[in-house]
Amino acid sequence: MRLLGLDVGDARIGVAISDPNGQVAIPLMTMQRRSTETSIAAIATLAGKEEVEALIVGFPLSLNGAVGPQAQRVQEFARRLQAAVAVPVELWDERFSSVQADELLRRDRPRSRKGRAEQDSLAAAIILQGYLDSKQEMPQPS
């Protein structure tokens, strides 16, 4: 089961993809956001090309779990994305994914524009990996 993970921000969208078995998330790319329509069209095209079965969108809840302004924007983006694709779009709690990505990248190199783009795709991979791990931990019916 191949999935796409998305870290949707105001300026960029980090994209990750799972391996064909749906076990490992791999950073794929970072898209510049020009308009919502253009971004959704690009994601829909990518989802079709990669033959994914679902899109997992990072849901930036506040630390106390409340839905703040950024989470509301992401909800609206996910709603519009769902209307454009034929596969399920799921929101996934992404608290701390960008922080984790930043910490991983900081160990390797100084922060740069390219580093921020890498951070976005790595954050998408962290989001997607969390989702994949949660599905693997669930007991399978016998």
Q: Is the pTM of this model over 0.95?
A: no
How far apart are alpha carbons 17 and 26 in whole angstroms? 5
In order of 62, 92, 98, 114, 127, the CA distances from 95 in angstroms are 7, 9, 8, 23, 9
Write down the pLDDT at residue 95: 74
Range ranked top by mean pLDDT from 60-64, 96-100, 102-106, 122-126: 122-126
Domains of the chain, residue spans: 3-137
Q: Which CATH number fits domain 3-137: 2.60.120.260, 3.30.420.140, 3.20.20.70, 3.20.20.150?
A: 3.30.420.140
- Mean of per-residue pLDDT scores for the chain: 87
Q: Which residue has the higher pLDDT, 113 or 41?
A: 41
The answer to whether residue 110 scores a pLDDT higher than 80 is no
Q: Do 36 and 81 contact (CB within 8 A), yes or no?
A: no
Write down the pLDDT at residue 36: 95
Q: Which residues in 128-138 are b (16+ Cβ under 10 Å) and which e?
A: bbbbbeeeeee
**E strand or H helix at 77, and its extent?**
helix 69-84
70 — pLDDT class (breaks 50, 70, 90): very high
The answer to whether residue 98 scores a pLDDT higher than 80 is no
119 — pLDDT class (breaks 50, 70, 90): confident
CA-nearest of 110, 97, 104, 107 to 16 is 97
CA-nearest of 45, 54, 78 to 70 is 78
